[in-house]
Amino acid sequence: MHISEGVLPGWLLASGYAATACGVALGLKKLDHSRIPVAGLLSAVFFVASLVHVPVGVGSVHLILNGLAGIILGWIVFPVLLVGLFLQAVLFQFGGLTVLGVNTFNMAFPAVIAYYICKPLLKKQSKAYILIGSFLAAIIAIMGAGFLVAGELLATGESFKETAKLIVLLHIPVAAIEGVINFFILLFLKRVAPEILEEWK
């Protein structure tokens, strides 16, 4: 779901960097030494999962797992996804440095929303609540990112109207797949490492 360079106007690029800078600052403030291994692991998972992508016009469709990262990390998802996206831009030319702020915000902000909505469900012992939280996190994070990308493309004019629609539609099955992935991972963590799912103050 990377937006390519040379597509968005300067004001959107600047806004993306400003919003991402605020998110990263909040995330780093909440990141203590005990959480660094989990944050690093999720950054690596995000990096690897989103390497396999299908180009769609000026964007791309791939597994993101930002909902999983968001529901575990909260605001820390901002610096975590920023690192992954930076490495992808530098090593594989996915997205680019000028759109790094926008791409990070698109994937991280909906993940933070998923954190606040879905995190309370993980406190329940019932598998049904974990299932609901898993799919809800995927829908909020994936579709939220898709709508942000679509909105930004539409802000450039009518030329990307069809691409914007396509990006939203193609991410519906991605959200469903990630809901399943989230469920099994969260269920596993609930059993073997419940401390990872505790609140990150």
Q: What is the pLDDT of residues 126-172, one digit of tens each?
A: 899 999 999 999 999 999 999 999 999 998 887 888 888 888 888 89
Average pLDDT, the chain: 89
- The pair of structure tokens assigned to 190 is 């609930």
Q: What percent of the chain has pLDDT over 90?
A: 59
pLDDT at position 122? 87
The pTM (predicted TM-score) of the whole model is 0.89
CATH architecture label of 10-197: Orthogonal Bundle (1.10)
Cα→Cα distances 165→5, 71, 85, Å: 20, 27, 24
Q: What is the DSSP letter of 9?
A: -
Domain ranges, ordered by start, for the chain: 10-197
Q: Which helix (H) or strand (E) holds 54?
A: strand 53-56
